[in-house]
Structure 1
Amino acid sequence: MTKTSGLVIGLAAVLFSTPVMAQTSGLKVIDQFKIGGDGGWDYITLDPAAGKLYVAHGTSISAFAMKAGQATPHLADAKGAHIALPVHSGADLLVTHGKADIVTINDANTGAVKATIKTDTKPDAAIIEPVTGKAFVMANAGGAMDVIDLDTQTLSGRVAIGGAAEAAAVDGEGLVFSHLEDKNAFVVVDARTLTLKATHVIKDCEEPSGIAFIPGQRLILSACQNGIARISKADTGEEVATVPVGPRPDAALYDATAKLGYVPSADGKLTVISFDGVPHVIDVVATKASARTATLDADTGRIYLPAADLGSVDAKTGRPTISPNSLVVIVVGR
């Protein structure tokens, strides 16, 4: 995920007339899970059947069993992990190792490595495409989507997409979408033929990160590093709406039941976007500073956001330090 910290703070005031209506969604922080472990993190994923959350750290994968209230701060080793994606009906995890140019298949209970698969450079996000049943891995520095056959646990294909792939979304009908954070665009890939169908530039959206597909309306929700979310037509790239969000957003979610989109940002705010009519912001929920990634439980409507206590700014990186053993998952619901 993108690490850019710049934000044009005044942009929202200049560009947008849609008001932000406080606390109209009914959402609030309802719980917090202590995870622990050290260092930064990227994506959080959910296995709803097992009731387990997984957080990818740089050097490890953490897990939390919600029913038992049990945290496993270090389930498995990792080399620059970006995501631990439940596969094989939750029995295993597909882990992307951005610093080793591999993905591994790990036992979801023990963390043991079952398979190691070479990928293009810097594998980042990953998603299951339901029509083909394949895993699509976003090779951020390799300019490609790599395709993993989960039955044989091998690399079965590659699609050149011409830029730095970020997060991913699917339409459930055979298409895979991803942002090109270096091109301010999103791509459309046909999962059946493994071809690049289209590249759509998303104007005014800088370094897009989180992405969500809105079914029915066939829209793409893009979280942009310059403090906006852009909504585009998935099939043409045409702009539908642009709304303000917080700084450094790194995820985008959509709840089809509630017809709500969610964009979390690094300042500890969760922007809630209604897709009932023209997309517009209806709420901003306070979470916790650093809670910029998230996952959604479609059955309950709850949103899970990893966050940690932050210290002083590191002079070398320009980012705040992370207090040891402070990782938690914030739960937002009704």
Structure 2
Amino acid sequence: MIRLTSLAFAVLCGFYGNASLAQSSGLKLTDALKIGGDGGWDYISFDPGRQTLYLAHGSFISAVDLKTGLASPHLADAKGAHIALPVHGGLDLLITQGKADSVTINDAATGAVKAEIRTDAKPDAAIVEPVTGLAFVMANKGGALDAIDLTTSTLAGRVDVGGAAESGAVDGQGLVFTHLEDRNAFVTVDARTLKIVATHPLDDCEEPSGMAFVPNGRLILSACQNGIARVSNADTGAEVATLPVGAGPDAALYDARTNQGYIPSRDGKLTVISFAGVPHVIDTVTTGSGARTATLDTATGRIFLPTAEFGPEDPKTGKPNILPGTFKVLVVSR
């Protein structure tokens, strides 16, 4: 009986492995949107209603109208911006001002500041929780999640998460998740009570950055700086899978239409993960060097990845110089 079971298992594993190798996502690099402007960048966000991309460059915000193809290289000034998140039905943007320890609410059309709200130190990522309608800001150096009341543009409360909050996700049922990049863990917060539900270690995952929630199986997809993606049970923290990705990943996306996850990385690879059955890698799409962050158009499946052209390495920072005027957004689609 043991021998027969082992043989059957081996046959199934062989079949599963061959099937995985035979799969392809059908995704490929299809376009490059020229934006221009200088300097680096962090998160990119997408407003499906206005069909507009917003990009945080630290000292300014840029935008691209996909309907017209027109770019606004300098929509608004910023002080260490990490994300420009569409709020109020796309009429406004919530911009995290990492060097000012605040967030601003800006007019999405003109960039004008409508309100400023103080936060804990170095606000980074931000996400809107749909049940409460609150925006949750990950204060990286402040070790907290700051809840912003978008109706009154005020601070509604804060949650001390005990580490460097980095990226975030929601389950659509009132829970907010964030990584603690300095503790290799993720925290679950109840958006209604502003209380921590649980903190789960992420074994094998170093400095987790990008995060996505996968409703199918209630999973957390984490991008890890040691070149893996970790898939965890969102409720227990148990490891479900660890998968190889490119070097320097900084985002994680999930597409419910295809039941696939995406991890972009600095070395120009977009790793495609299938969540049909046991999570597994089905494809690696070549994008471009530096394309480490991304956003998703959930209606069409298009993936947008900001990057630029690079010159020689800067001897002071050890990083390649960004060539002026070469900033662009790559488009990956089927």
TM-score by length of 2: 0.93
Partner of 1:5: none
SS of residue in 1 equivalent to 2:89: helix
Which amino acid in structure 1 is aligned with residue 251 of structure 2?
Answer: A
Q: Partners of 2:73 and 2:259 in 1: how far apart?
A: 34
Corresponding residue number in structure 1 for 2:183: 183
Pairing of 1:40-119 with structure 2 (within 5 A): 40-119=40-119
TM-score by length of 1: 0.93
Larger Rg: 2
Would the alpha carbon gap of residues 63 and 23 (structure 1) be closer, same or farther in structure 2, given more than 3 Å must change? farther
Distance 2:76 2:132 in 1: 28
Cα pair distance change 1:21/1:157, threshold 3 Å: same
What is the CA-CA distance between 1:18 and the residue it aligns to? 7.0
The equivalent residue for 1:130 is: 130
Q: Distance in 2 between matches of 1:311 and 1:174?
A: 45
Counterparts of 1:312 and 1:189, CA distance in 2: 44
Q: Which residue of 2 aligns with 1:158?
A: 158
Instruction: Please tell me the residue identity of whatever aligns with 2:261.
Output: G
Alpha-carbon distance in 2 for matches of 1:323, 1:57:
15
Map of 1:287 onto structure 2: 287
In 1, the alpha carbon distance for the partners of 2:172 and 2:222 equals 18
CA distance in 1, matches of 2:156, 2:40: 31
Give the distance between the partners of 1:29 and 1:116, measured in 2 at CA: 38
Task: Indicate the residue corresponding to 1:6 in structure 2.
Answer: none
Q: Distance in 2 between matches of 1:125 and 1:104?
A: 13
What whole-Å deviation, never above 9, does each CA across 1:250-294 have from its counterpart, x for those lacking one?
A: 000000110000000001110000000000000000011100000
Deviation at 1:87, TM superposition (A): 0.2
Task: Answer whether contact 1:95 1:106 (CA < 8 A) is retained.
Answer: yes
Structure 2: how far apart are the matches of 1:22 and 1:42? 35
Tell me if structure 2 keeps the 8 A contact 1:86–1:94: yes
Distance in structure 1 (CA, Å) of the matches to 2:114 and 2:215: 35
Question: Greater RCO between the two (CA within 8 Å, min separation 6)?
Answer: 1
Equivalent residues of 1:23, 1:285 under 8 A apart:
no
Cα deviation, 1:92-129, whole Å, max 9, x if unaligned, reads 00000111101000000000000011000000000000
Q: Which runs of 5+ in 2 are unaligned?
A: 1-15
Q: 1:79 to 1:278 in 2, by over 3 A?
A: same
CA distance in 1, matches of 2:17, 2:45: 31
Deviations 1:171-211 (A, max 9, x none): 00000001000000000000000001111000010000000
Compute the displacement of 1:320 (Å): 1.4
Question: Does the Cα contact within 8 Å between 1:75 and 1:110 map onto a contact in 2?
Answer: yes
Aligned 1:199-210 pairs, distance under 5 A: 199-210=199-210
Residue of structure 2 in register with 1:195 after alignment: 195
Aligned partner letter, 2:313: V
Change (3 A) 1:92 1:192: same
Match of 2:333 in 1: 333
- Give the aligned length: 318
Check whether the contact 1:296–1:302 (CA below 8 A) recurs between aligned residues. yes
RMSD: 1.3
Q: Secondary structure at the match of 1:42?
A: coil
Partner deviation per Cα, 1:147-168 (whole Å, 9 max, x = no partner): 1000000111000000000000
Structure 1 unaligned segments of length 5 or more: list them. 1-16
Mean CA deviation greater in 76-85 or 316-325 = 316-325
Q: Distance in 2 between matches of 1:274 and 1:113?
A: 41
In structure 2, what is the equivalent of residue 301 of structure 1?
A: 301
Partner residue in 1 for 2:227: 227
8 A Cα contact 1:206 1:226, kept in partner = yes
4+ runs deviating over 2 angstroms:
17-23
More helix by share: 2
